[in-house]
Amino acid sequence: MIETIPITTSFHSEMVDITSQVTDCIDKRQLKEGIVIVQSMHTTAGITVNENADPDVKTDMLRRFSEVYPWEHRKDLHAEGNTASHMKTSTVGHSQTLIVEDGRLVLGTWQGVYFCEFDGPRTRKVVVKIIEG
């Protein structure tokens, strides 16, 4: 069972909360117990689970990732010039696995699921795979 979540990002770097879209997939499939794998289909955008309360966390995180992996780098060979986006994607991960119990995502109070755009704005695709059990 695979569901697709289409995403259109608005900025070059952006953390988009997709928790409700993932929840919709679970509801649609009436999954009670199991896991869901949430995967970005791209190499310059990833998935992470992080703070869903203060939006400043997202701002800080995107800026700090860009400090560790600066866009401009005189040694980069990749002609597209977006090596930094690839670094960030492998750092947060192209996918995350989430737990479902009693029909609900098992998340801590402050945890949300984020699509991490690192080379936008673009039209993107996330797939959600459901495993019952």
Residues that bind a copy of itself (CB under 8 A): 1-2, 33-35, 37, 39-43, 48-51, 54, 56-57, 59-61, 63-65, 68-69, 73, 75-80, 83-84, 86-87, 89-97, 99, 101, 106-108, 110-111, 125, 127, 129, 131-133
CB of 57 to a copy of itself, least distance (A): 5
Q: Cα–Cα distance between 58 and 52 in angstroms, integer?
A: 9
Minimum distance, C-beta of residue 103 to a copy of itself, in the bound complex (Å): 13
Cα gap 13→119, rounded to integer Å: 6
User: Which residue type occupies 133?
Assistant: G
Q: Is 117 helix (H, G, I), strand (E, B) or coil?
A: strand
